[in-house]
Amino acid sequence: MDESKLSDDHFCFACGGRNRQGLRIRFEYPEPGRCRAVWTPEKRFQGWKGILHGGIISTLLDEALAHARGAEGRGAGEAAVTAELTVRFKKPVQIGSPVVLEGRVVSARGRLIECLSTLRDGKGNELASASGKLVKCS
């Protein structure tokens, strides 16, 4: 497949509305280069008892990077893919408790886009964060 022609069929594991097994995250775009979502982890995504699996946390943070980038043009921009992702786990994410996921674009130069994302509990405590680099596919 030619990566410059990526298309959305709404089956993305993280945000695809048609993927019943996925996370089905629904983002809002408060301003260009920023995204936000509130999501409640279900037990089927558990690692240790009562705690969200670290791979799912990484997926959430990665998805926020991509959506922050898409928010530049309200999702209508050029396709971009994650080239690098660094995750920092700070506190356990509890199953059944809503979390706030946010992403923002830090810089965009040429084909490279640098972004940050955070995952917080309902009280605003940071649970995990990520920095990442996306590359435009053009």
**Nearest by Cα to 80 from 16, 20, 132:** 132
Instruction: Classify residue 21: in a domain, yes or no.
Output: no
Residue 130 has pLDDT above 50, yes or no: yes
Q: Which domain holds residue 123?
A: 27-136
100 within some domain? yes
Which pLDDT belongs to residue 1? 45
Model confidence band, residue 137 (pLDDT cutoffs 50, 70, 90): confident
User: Is 18 within the bounds of a domain?
Assistant: no
Q: Is residue 16 part of a domain?
A: no
Instruction: Say what the pLDDT of residue 7 is.
Output: 83
pTM of structure? 0.91
Q: Domain for residue 120, yes or no? A: yes
Is residue 1 domain-resident? no
- The predicted-structure confidence for 63-120, as pLDDT tens digits, reads as follows 999 999 886 654 445 678 999 999 999 999 999 999 999 999 999 999 999 999 999 9
User: What's residue 77's pLDDT?
Assistant: 55
- CATH code of the domain containing 35: 3.10.129.10
How high is the pLDDT of residue 39? 98
Instruction: State the total domains in the chain.
Output: 1
CA distances from 47 to 50, 54, 57, 86, 89 (A): 8, 7, 11, 20, 14
Q: Would 47 be classed as within a structural domain?
A: yes
CA 113 to chain centre: 15
pLDDT tens digits, 7-20: 889 999 999 999 99
- Please give the Cα distance from 77 to 84 (Å, whole number): 20
Average per-residue pLDDT for the chain: 91
